[in-house]
Amino acid sequence: MITSEDAFGNGLYDYFIGESVHEVIERDDGYIVVWNGPGAYFAEFDDWQPAEREAMNFAFGKVLDIGCGAGRHALYLQHTGLKAMGIDVSPLALEVCEQRGLVNTRECPITEVNSNLGKFDTIITMGNNFGLLANPRRARWLLRRFYSMTSQNGRLIAASNDPYKTDDEDHLAYHTRNRQRGRMSGQIRIRVRYRGIKDKWFDYLMVSKAEMEDILIGTGWQVREYIDSGNAQYIAVIEKHT
């Protein structure tokens, strides 16, 4: 990816250097959300949601942070003494991570995550980044790959958003549209826009707990426990079958 095509990274970097940023998330049905700056990507540990803080207690050993953004999770784990690698498709996001002190970064799309990156004890997909698995078929393929590149007691810490916990008519109509097209209700297609830059469209998968457990079948993984946030968001602590 070149920086002129990196809407997400440009917004993140501009916010990092102190500029006013408004980021647009566009869905393929025309629905648009405007975010007033990516400040959450830079939040300090004490300002995180309680569920996120609790989830970090389950990380151990060598950690891979998939879709690391500005690196807040990887940086926190690095500060606690763990060896953390942050990966992202955005070169400018990784530049921000490096300037903030993250030692180990790699530009890498999720589909290229494999044992060439190393052997890990924990893989985290925070910030709803279980969604980067995109669809059930790709999710199972990636989960089996994650299984092969993690230690015997390997663990996944996966954040998602239950798409059914909404009464928004636009979202409910989108769920119906998805099902009519043979897609999961929470399988959305989005892109990030910032100023005159547009990222490429990509699929992002939001699932209920039951749907997550169904996706895990046959991958070697099972949910150990859920950490609830009190709203639609939750974090799953996932371990290998014993």
pLDDT of residue 137: 97
Alpha carbon 13 to chain centroid, angstroms: 18
pLDDT of residue 4: 76
Dihedral pair phi/psi, residue 178, rounded to 5°: -60, -50
pLDDT of residue 3: 74
Asked if 69 contacts 87 with a C-beta cutoff of 8 angstroms, the reply is no
Residue position matching structure tokens 């959305």: 188
Name the residue type at position 120: F
Could you list the pLDDT tens digit for every one of the 242 residues in the chain? 457 789 999 999 999 999 999 989 999 999 999 988 799 999 999 999 999 999 999 999 999 999 999 999 999 999 999 999 999 999 999 999 999 999 999 999 999 999 999 999 999 999 999 999 999 999 999 999 999 999 999 999 999 999 999 999 999 999 999 999 999 999 999 999 999 899 999 999 999 999 999 999 999 999 999 999 989 999 999 999 87
The CATH code for residues 3-240 is: 3.40.50.150
* Token couple for 20: 């006013």
Whole-model pTM above 0.75? yes
Which residue spans within 162-232 are E strands per DSSP? 187-194, 197-198, 202-205, 221-228
pLDDT of residue 110: 97
Distance CA 224, CA 114 (A): 24
Q: What is the CA radius of gyration of the chain?
A: 17
